[in-house]
Structure 1
Amino acid sequence: MRQTNSRASIDGLKAPTKLQWLVNPITALALLGSFALMGADAATEQRLKNIELQLDALQKENTSLKARLQAEGLGGTGPAIVKGAGKENKIQLGGMLQAQYEAGNTPDTRFSNADRFLVRRARLYAAGSFLESFSWKLEGEFGNANLKNNASYKALATDTYIAWTRYDFANVKLGQFKTTFGHEQLVSDSVLPFAERSLVSDRFTIGRQVGVAVVGDFYNKRLGYMVGAFNGPASNNGFNDNEKFTYTARLTGVPWKGKVGKWDSQWSVAVDGYASRDSLAGAISLPDFKFDSVPGGAIDDIFVGDRRVWAVDSQFKLGPLDFMGEYFHGFFKPANALPFKRINAEGFQVTAAAFVIPKKLQPAIRYETLDPNVDLRGNSSDEWVFGLNYFIKDHDLKLQLDYHLGNSTGAKDNQGRLIARAQLLF
């Protein structure tokens, strides 16, 4: 009797061959791998979607942040903004450096006849604002500050004030700042077409003082005003020389603003004035007028008495062309009647400038005259100034070359002086 083989078929099923034993596991592994790859593809796609969502959210957040910075005036390439320790909305830091070389003689009484290098201005400032419509500024001067032959530099305050800016028609400023008189005097030192202001502006205006002012404008800045009351004894003084204040007022208007051909055009006019009563304690220095507080000896140029000064100015801009002029008239009544009981003085300046290379090269010319006493002859001072401005990066980085040609008060011969200046704003 034949025995049945254990590998025989059972219930009609054949036993798997060796090849089948090998193929079946491979097939199973392939199926498992395909399922794994399908799962991996799904996971990878989900990760990519998540990354895209995150990038989209970051882009939206970045756009929103830029919009907020622009709305708050913090965007762009302006001065650095830092976070204050107090509750200010923002704080701004900046400064200005003006260094120059001078050579020649004395075209007017402000200059010496010695060649020199000069740090004309070196300023640092911090300014800030609050959401409650208050702002402030602290600025210090560390350079020569003027054209005098100062023996040593010392730190001085320039603009130091608090301002309330809630309404355009009435901004209130309290502290030390420029008095509201004289167009050329009010223009920033960094944007003037010449390195130095005109002699008539320096002699008739009263610079920075401690006091209060209200400034406003109407009709989209077509009409404006400035009024102020100040101690009187120049800047960096914490006293009033008497019980009187120096009062200033200025009214401005823009009769024309529009286009002439393809060029933007604007015509501005203004009238202003001030009144002051000065005592000897104030030590008000007014060169060129021959005032003398102490009879006998050398003239000290110190004025004591009453003075009234008024002025008119106008500016016209036509594309790359700029024209401006300013006229002053002053009435002085010295307390000691030196050099006369009453003195009427006047002076004016006219300026023209034009960009021959847009935003890069600007020649300029100015004529000015000062008559410290209209009742006398032969005591006036006339001066021409020829300038060339090269803008490397707007006013932030520019070079100025000026040549002054004029005669000091009472002098007959013209004398010249060259000024070469480099300016940096930061």
Structure 2
Amino acid sequence: MKRLREGLYIFRHQRCAHRLLVGVLIVLAAWLASAGASEAADTGKLVEKDGKYVFVESMDPSLKLLLERSVKSGMITQEEYDQVVKDSEERTQLLSPSFRGWYDRGFNLSMNDNAFFLKIRFRSQLRYTQRFRNDAWRNPGEAKNFPELLGVFGDYRANRSENSSSSFNVRRLRFYFMGHLFDPDFKYYIQMRAETAENAQSPGSLSLFDVNFTYTKLPWANVQFGQYKVYFNRSQINSTASMQFAERALVQDAFTASGLDRRDIGITIMNDEELFPVNYYLGVFNGAGPSFNRLGSFTSEEATVGCPGGQTSGNPFPSPAGCPANQRNLNANTRIDVDRLMYVARLNWNILGRPGYGEGDLAYSETPQLAVGGGYSYNPGVNTSSDNAFVGLDLANLNIRRQLAAFGNGRQLGLGIVDYSTWAADGVFKYRGFSLQGEFYFKNVIRHDKGLPCMNTTCTATAPNNFGNAMGWYVQSGYYLIPRTVELAARYAYWDPDTNSANDLIRQADVSLNWFLNGTYDHQIMVTYSNTQFGTGGYTIGRSAPLPPGSGTVPLDAVGGTLIENAIRVQYQIFF
């Protein structure tokens, strides 16, 4: 009997020890398993894998089942179970890597539990252009809307060329860095470019294109500041990555908010486009174009007031009585209107759906998408140069003048200080592969000097009339012959660069066939045919007869009828 009692006593203690050992082993197994699980997933979170989101627990399902059965059988208590799970989750979190990387329309890097996120993208547009021009491009050429400004003094040159040309071109080459800092509501965006225009006179170099930050904590009042595209009209906001044609219409370039460029440096307050049917944008900018401010703009003072100046080598004009024979006109560079800023407002109403700003209905919308919008910009104190008919006298504002010429506003050069007041209205409709959009523009050019522009340095002759305003519009439409794959698009644009002049209209017609290789804008081949006609009439300062003596024998304002260009552009775009 005594031995039986001793045996039962030993058996009970062995069973208790066995239970304790099993509990220790289970806890140890849970601890080891949690370490392995930490390598594969975040703790009880949605994890992205191959573009899909799956909920993954930190603990292996089989181990969790074993622990739950251990609780039910009484091998471990509920408190012990809860503590094991808690310890497992904490260890998983601590042992999880602080960063992860993956590819999804760009190279993505997330660090410190998504406190920092970076997406890197690359886009290129490689192009072949075959161009045919009529004889008027040889004489007189285009010197009024798109003059070329060369040399230190920015002398005017007419854009002339042979009748035909063939060329390959790296039209666009972009590098993108975007993401958020500290939390997803503080976003950053950086864009670099290294590209050349079709008629560029020097190879492109890597330069800063965009750098801005956006705070989105308040959906009704997002704040964006830095350098970026001004929210003014539809074509200005849209990216060249999502266009229906190889190039914007010329009228779309001419009517930007500043008149100089689509980009500027400033700040914008706006609401969230994805949450509100009516979107507003209120911005204040330098009004001098990208990477520039008004301190770089100045007026050249004459060495002797009332006397013509000249280049370093001498005076190109006969000197009036009492004036030195040789002098430069740069005695001082005076910064004026440096307290001026550009103000921009835009309102957009998504009446049906959200058509967005990308051209065409690539999404093949199953319901109608309709939006209308309008914008207003006021850019005062733009110094277009007041050199009295011969630009070689004036070193001032070469950057401003070149921007005006590059965007087709060359007729406004030499008007002195002007204020731009620009209006725009736009609309877009998309449905089942069909798209239709258009815009109307009007620019009021207000000269500070109300008199007739001088035609020579002594102002003994004046222009026949004052410069007027500018007006233009375009309409374009497209349809996907094969949904999300093949699109046919057409566009017509009209532009009057000076409402006070005749025979100066610019008309443009385009047809484009677009093949989207993977159903997105990221990979596409585009073939665009364009017909552009330039009227050569109208008056422009420094390019209309009579030119100042000594400036040459071929007046740049010679009228040779209408300049006609037919161009075929074959473009390949890849965006990854």
What range is the shorter-chain TM-score in? 0.7 to 0.9
**What is the letter of the counterpart of residue 208 of structure 2?**
A
> Is 1:138 aligned to residue 184 of structure 2?
no
1:243 corresponds in structure 2 to: 339
Q: Secondary structure at the match of 1:115?
A: strand
What does 1:188-203 align with in structure 2 at a 5 Å threshold?
188-203=239-254
**What is the letter of the counterpart of residue 164 of structure 1?**
Y
1:213-232 Cα deviation digits (max 9, x unpaired): 11214793310011111112
1:275 corresponds in structure 2 to: 378
The answer to whether the Cα contact below 8 Å between 2:467 and 2:500 also exists between their aligned partners in 1 is no
Pick from 479, 500, 510: which aligns with 1:354? 479
Q: Secondary structure at the match of 1:202?
A: helix
1:378 corresponds in structure 2 to: 503
**What is the letter of the counterpart of residue 373 of structure 1?**
D
Pick from 118, 127, 136: which aligns with 1:91? 118
1:310 corresponds in structure 2 to: 423
CA deviation after TM superposition for structure 1 residue 348, in Å: 0.5
CA deviation after TM superposition for structure 1 residue 183, in Å: 0.6
**What is the letter of the counterpart of residue 157 of structure 1?**
L
Q: Percent identity?
A: 20
The answer to whether the Cα contact below 8 Å between 2:287 and 2:293 also exists between their aligned partners in 1 is no
Pick from 211, 214, 218: which aligns with 1:163? 214
Pick from 256, 263, 269: which aligns with 1:214? 269
> Is 1:79 aligned to residue 106 of structure 2?
yes
The answer to whether the Cα contact below 8 Å between 2:429 and 2:436 also exists between their aligned partners in 1 is yes
Distance in 1 (CA, whole Å) between partners of 2:206 and 2:265 is: 17
2:70 corresponds in structure 1 to: none
Q: Are residues 264 and 65 of structure 1, via their aligned partners in 2, closer, same or farther at CA, if it must alter by over 3 Å?
A: farther
Q: Secondary structure at the match of 2:271?
A: strand
74-83 vs 120-129, which moves further = 74-83
**What is the letter of the counterpart of residue 425 of structure 1?**
F
**What is the letter of the counterpart of residue 171 of structure 2?**
R
Pick from 175, 196, 203: which aligns with 1:124? 175
The answer to whether the Cα contact below 8 Å between 1:100 and 1:119 also exists between their aligned partners in 2 is yes
CA deviation after TM superposition for structure 1 residue 103, in Å: 1.2
CA deviation after TM superposition for structure 1 residue 341, in Å: 3.8
1:224-279 Cα deviation digits (max 9, x unpaired): 01111111221122554421011111000022339xxx932111000101111212
Q: Are residues 364 and 186 of structure 1, via their aligned partners in 2, closer, same or farther at CA, if it must alter by over 3 Å?
A: same
1:297 corresponds in structure 2 to: none
Pick from 411, 419, 429: which aligns with 1:290? 411
333-342 vs 234-243, which moves further = 333-342
Provide the alpha-carbon RMSD of the alignment: 3.5
The answer to whether the Cα contact below 8 Å between 1:120 and 1:143 also exists between their aligned partners in 2 is yes
1:25 corresponds in structure 2 to: none
The answer to whether the Cα contact below 8 Å between 1:195 and 1:419 also exists between their aligned partners in 2 is yes
2:554 corresponds in structure 1 to: none
**What is the letter of the counterpart of residue 360 of structure 1?**
T
The answer to whether the Cα contact below 8 Å between 1:334 and 1:341 also exists between their aligned partners in 2 is no
Larger Rg: 1
2:300 corresponds in structure 1 to: none
> Is 1:319 aligned to residue 346 of structure 2?
no
> Is 1:421 aligned to residue 534 of structure 2?
no
Distance in 2 (CA, whole Å) between partners of 1:265 and 1:311 is: 24
**What is the letter of the counterpart of residue 139 of structure 1?**
Q
Pick from 170, 182, 201: which aligns with 1:150? 201
1:268-305 Cα deviation digits (max 9, x unpaired): 00010111121254445143552232xxxxxxxx8741
Distance in 2 (CA, whole Å) between partners of 1:93 and 1:412 is: 46
The answer to whether the Cα contact below 8 Å between 1:355 and 1:362 also exists between their aligned partners in 2 is yes
Distance in 2 (CA, whole Å) between partners of 1:93 and 1:219 is: 23
CA deviation after TM superposition for structure 1 residue 106, in Å: 5.4
| Count of residues in correspondence between the two structures | 365
The answer to whether the Cα contact below 8 Å between 2:404 and 2:410 also exists between their aligned partners in 1 is no
Q: Are residues 86 and 151 of structure 1, via their aligned partners in 2, closer, same or farther at CA, if it must alter by over 3 Å?
A: farther
1:398 corresponds in structure 2 to: 524
Structure whose residues are more often strand by fraction: 1
TM norm structure 1: 0.76
1:182 corresponds in structure 2 to: 233
126-135 vs 99-108, which moves further = 99-108
**What is the letter of the counterpart of residue 292 of structure 1?**
L
Distance in 2 (CA, whole Å) between partners of 1:219 and 1:400 is: 30
Distance in 1 (CA, whole Å) between partners of 2:113 and 2:210 is: 21
Distance in 1 (CA, whole Å) between partners of 2:432 and 2:128 is: 32
**What is the letter of the counterpart of residue 280 of structure 2?**
Y
Distance in 2 (CA, whole Å) between partners of 1:423 and 1:401 is: 11
CA deviation after TM superposition for structure 1 residue 124, in Å: 0.8
Distance in 2 (CA, whole Å) between partners of 1:208 and 1:253 is: 23
Structure 2 stretches lacking a partner, 5+ long = 1-28, 54-99, 135-141, 147-158, 298-337, 355-364, 386-396, 454-462, 537-560
1:347-396 Cα deviation digits (max 9, x unpaired): 10000011001111001000001011223322111111010110112211
The answer to whether the Cα contact below 8 Å between 1:123 and 1:139 also exists between their aligned partners in 2 is yes
Structure 1 stretches lacking a partner, 5+ long = 1-49, 294-301
CA deviation after TM superposition for structure 1 residue 319, in Å: 1.1
Distance in 2 (CA, whole Å) between partners of 1:155 and 1:140 is: 7
Q: Are residues 201 and 264 of structure 1, via their aligned partners in 2, closer, same or farther at CA, if it must alter by over 3 Å?
A: same
Q: Secondary structure at the match of 2:239?
A: coil
CA deviation after TM superposition for structure 1 residue 412, in Å: 2.7
1:13-39 Cα deviation digits (max 9, x unpaired): xxxxxxxxxxxxxxxxxxxxxxxxxxx
CA deviation after TM superposition for structure 1 residue 194, in Å: 0.7
**What is the letter of the counterpart of residue 508 of structure 2?**
E
Distance in 1 (CA, whole Å) between partners of 2:188 and 2:241 is: 20
Q: Are residues 343 and 130 of structure 1, via their aligned partners in 2, closer, same or farther at CA, if it must alter by over 3 Å?
A: same
208-217 vs 93-102, which moves further = 208-217
Distance in 1 (CA, whole Å) between partners of 2:498 and 2:285 is: 27
Distance in 1 (CA, whole Å) between partners of 2:174 and 2:195 is: 7
CA deviation after TM superposition for structure 1 residue 67, in Å: 2.0
Q: Are residues 228 and 86 of structure 1, via their aligned partners in 2, closer, same or farther at CA, if it must alter by over 3 Å?
A: farther
Q: Are residues 90 and 292 of structure 1, via their aligned partners in 2, closer, same or farther at CA, if it must alter by over 3 Å?
A: closer
1:67 corresponds in structure 2 to: 46
221-230 vs 372-381, which moves further = 372-381
CA deviation after TM superposition for structure 1 residue 161, in Å: 0.9
CA deviation after TM superposition for structure 1 residue 409, in Å: 3.4
Q: Secondary structure at the match of 1:290?
A: helix
Q: Secondary structure at the match of 2:252?
A: helix
1:287-344 Cα deviation digits (max 9, x unpaired): 3552232xxxxxxxx8741111101000000111010000000111234554654522
